[in-house]
């Protein structure tokens, strides 16, 4: 047994291979999906006498005829890139055109699409497992962490340091994004690209003060059980901290019982998490396969400069700013630390969800990077909820890109500062789920008076950029964990029991 264990590849290599294999198969399927074309003539679909189905750049374009008259064209299943053609997602399409949907199922689906639908479900199964362990893991881990810290004062200090780190790095990320977008000017370069559609359906957002206040309200859940059931991280974190603090106040046998229970629960949840993590190479393979199989690459062309700007800025933040912080503040080798965190970073990339990745982040930080549970249990769940450097940077670049594309004059310095501040607040309010940044961008657009429908410009490439920014979000949380751990250890003796009460 031990021999086989030794010959097995390290987890991060397995995940990387899973990702590459999934990505490659997806790209091949994507090529296959493009060749697909079918024409049906007959009355199998009731009133339609002729239906043409063609795959255009991996979208399915359906043209229907009644007699000899064309009645409409529909694009199904992807972002709108051709103005004037109605866009449906698959469920809408099924509800509105059941007969056509039936035909589509029967004749219109290439086996590539069929295959990627199944891998989508399998990838989702992996994400469900991660979500299944996330909430109990956070509750037990945070309870043991707070009980280990021993005093409200120490928890307050850790909270202060964590918030300071998160605000500073998010701010640095935004400044990086603004610098890159002002130098590269992707919006001006894309002005000539006429194929970019802007017919997104965007709802207006609630004012920023309301959004921030609702975050504050979440910190006081009226029903903690409901918050648990809903998986509302901010409510769960706050209630668990207060619960553990009250257990400390109660002391004696009560405290011992809670401590024993939390430690036992944490051990069990960690075992369960490790079992789920063993499936990560496969899960990541499925997620990548689906992401690449369904995204036509030609939508990237008009947005190439925009994508390059976002990616360069993210790369700078992830490979220069954060490693410097790791080197000088956490006194760790950034490369070694990145290697320890790679299972979480790769999973964040494939799933585009920092909440979903949280169990892996916690396990990697504790088991691979050797950071104490007292720090990680506190810093990471908070980070997955409110610290999003990648998202903050992305908001800044995307809104400036839209401004450059839409307006003749560049956005004034005052308005760019407004973008920076709202992007910071929006990144705090965004949930750690796919496309959350895109949804929240409406608030930044509103703040500087840009037309909301211009968001349609960037819809087509959001998923790809989401993968990168989510990895940066998780990377920043992990770096924060290492920094806070280092500061806490140098500021206080390792064993809290030896610290005299003040
Ligand atoms: N998907 C990102 C995350 O989970 C949020 C975003 O859309 O920017 O961290």
Q: How does residue 155 score in pLDDT terms, banded at 50, 70 and 90?
A: confident
The proportion of the chain whose per-residue pLDDT surpasses 90, expressed as a percent, equals 38
Residue-level pLDDT at 455: 77
Residue 247 has pLDDT above 90, yes or no: yes
Residue-level pLDDT at 142: 87
Rounded to the nearest angstrom, the distance between the alpha carbon of 270 and the centre of ligand 1 is 25
Taking residues 193-219, what's their average pLDDT? 59
Rounded to the nearest angstrom, the distance between the alpha carbon of 43 and the centre of ligand 1 is 46
The residue among 170 and 251 whose pLDDT is bigger is 170
The residue among 129 and 110 whose pLDDT is bigger is 129
Residue 55 has pLDDT above 80, yes or no: no
Of 350, 354, 382, which is best to mutate to test ligand 1, by the most ligand atoms within 8 angstroms of its C-beta? 354
353 CA closest ligand 1 atom index:
4
Residue-level pLDDT at 37: 41
**For atom 6 of ligand 1, which residue has the closest CA?**
437
Taking residues 273-278, what's their average pLDDT? 89
The proportion of the chain whose per-residue pLDDT surpasses 70, expressed as a percent, equals 74
Rounded to the nearest angstrom, the distance between the alpha carbon of 464 and the centre of ligand 1 is 11
Taking residues 314-331, what's their average pLDDT? 96
**174-183, 334-343, 483-492: range with lowest mean pLDDT:** 483-492
Q: Beta 69-76 vs 86-88: how paired, if at all?
A: parallel
Rounded to the nearest angstrom, the distance between the alpha carbon of 300 and the centre of ligand 1 is 20
3-state class of 64 per DSSP? strand
Residue-level pLDDT at 149: 79
Rounded to the nearest angstrom, the distance between the alpha carbon of 433 and the centre of ligand 1 is 5
Among 257, 490, 476, CA closest to 354: 476
Residue-level pLDDT at 334: 96
Residue 51 has pLDDT above 80, yes or no: no
Tens-place pLDDT, residues 10-32:
888 888 899 899 888 888 877 76
Cβ atoms 172, 317 nearer than 8 A: yes
Residue 210 has pLDDT above 90, yes or no: no
Q: How does residue 205 score in pLDDT terms, banded at 50, 70 and 90?
A: low
435 CA closest ligand 1 atom index:
7
The residue among 314 and 440 whose pLDDT is bigger is 314
Distance (Å, rounded) from C-alpha 265 to C-alpha 476? Answer: 28
Of 349, 394, 430, which is best to mutate to test ligand 1, by the most ligand atoms within 8 angstroms of its C-beta? 430
C-alpha distances in Å from residue 176, one per residue of 349, 405, 437: 21, 20, 17
- Most distant CA atoms of the chain, gap in Å: 89
**For atom 1 of ligand 1, which residue has the closest CA?**
434
- When the pLDDT of each residue in the chain is averaged and rounded to a whole number, the result is 79
Residue 315 has pLDDT above 80, yes or no: yes
Cβ-proximal residues to 61 (8 Å cutoff; 6+ apart), any chain = 53, 54, 55, 73, 74, 75, 85
3-state class of 449 per DSSP? coil
Residue-level pLDDT at 82: 42
Instruction: Confirm whether pTM is higher than 0.85.
Output: no
Residue-level pLDDT at 168: 95
* Ligand 1 lining (C-beta closer than 6 Å): 352-354, 388, 391, 430, 432-437, 466, 469-470, 473
The end-to-end CA distance of the chain, in Å, is: 52
431 CA closest ligand 1 atom index:
5
Residue-level pLDDT at 59: 43
Q: In what order do the strands lie in the sheet with 59-66?
A: 37-45, 48-56, 59-66, 69-76, 86-88
Rounded to the nearest angstrom, the distance between the alpha carbon of 437 and the centre of ligand 1 is 6
**DSSP label at residue 502:** -
């Amino acid at each position: 047994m031990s021999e086989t264990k030794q010959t097995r590849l390290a987890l991060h290599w397995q995940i990387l291979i899973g990702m590459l294999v999934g990505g490659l198969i997806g790209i091949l399927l994507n090529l296959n999906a493009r060749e697909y074309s079918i024409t049906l003539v007959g009355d199998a679909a009731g009133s339609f006498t002729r239906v043409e189905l063609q795959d255009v750049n991996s979208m399915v374009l359906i043209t229907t005829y009644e007699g000899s008259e064309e009645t409409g064209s529909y694009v199904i299943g992807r972002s709108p890139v051709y103005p004037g053609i109605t866009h449906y997602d698959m469920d809408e399409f099924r509800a509105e055109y059941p007969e056509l949907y039936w035909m589509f199922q029967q004749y219109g689906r290439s086996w590539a699409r069929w295959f990627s639908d199944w891998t989508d479900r399998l990838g989702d199964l992996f994400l469900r497992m991660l979500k299944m362990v996330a909430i109990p893991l956070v509750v037990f881990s945070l309870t043991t962490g707070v009980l280990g810290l021993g005093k409200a004062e120490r928890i307050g200090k850790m909270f202060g340091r964590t918030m300071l780190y998160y605000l500073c790095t998010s701010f640095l990320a935004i400044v990086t994004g603004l610098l890159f977008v002002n130098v590269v000017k992707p919006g001006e370069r894309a002005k000539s690209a006429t194929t970019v559609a802007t017919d997104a359906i965007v709802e207006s957002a609630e004012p920023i003060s309301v959004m921030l206040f609702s975050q504050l309200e979440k910190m006081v859940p009226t029903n903690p059980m409901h918050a648990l059931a809903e998986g509302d991280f901010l409510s769960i974190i706050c209630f668990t901290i207060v619960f553990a603090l009250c257990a400390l106040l109660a002391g004696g046998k009560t405290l011992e019982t809670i401590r024993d229970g939390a430690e036992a629960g944490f051990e069990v949840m960690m075992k369960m998490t490790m079992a789920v993590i063993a499936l990560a190479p496969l899960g990541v393979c499925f997620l990548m396969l689906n992401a690449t199989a369904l995204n036509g690459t030609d939508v990237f062309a008009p947005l190439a400069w925009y994508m390059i700007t976002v990616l360069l800025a993210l790369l700078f933040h992830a490979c220069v700013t954060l490693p410097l912080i790791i080197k000088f503040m956490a006194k760790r080798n950034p490369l070694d630390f990145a290697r320890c965190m790679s299972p979480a970073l790769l999973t964040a990339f494939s799933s585009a969800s920092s909440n979903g990745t949280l169990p892996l982040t916690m396990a990697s930080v504790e088991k691979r990077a050797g950071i104490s549970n007292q720090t990680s249990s506190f810093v990471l769940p908070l980070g997955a909820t409110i610290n999003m450097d990648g998202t903050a940077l992305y908001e800044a670049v995307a809104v400036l890109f839209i401004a450059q594309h839409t307006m003749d004059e560049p956005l004034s310095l005052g308005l760019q500062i407004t973008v920076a501040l709202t992007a910071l607040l929006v990144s705090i309010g965004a949930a750690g789920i796919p496309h959350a940044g895109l949804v929240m961008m409406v608030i930044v657009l509103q703040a500087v008076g840009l037309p909301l429908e211009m968001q349609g410009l960037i819809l087509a490439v959001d998923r790809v950029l989401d993968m990168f920014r989510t990895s940066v979000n998780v990377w920043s949380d992990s770096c924060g964990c290492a920094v806070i751990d280092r500061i806490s250890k140098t500021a206080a003796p390792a064993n809290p029991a030896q610290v005299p009460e003040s």
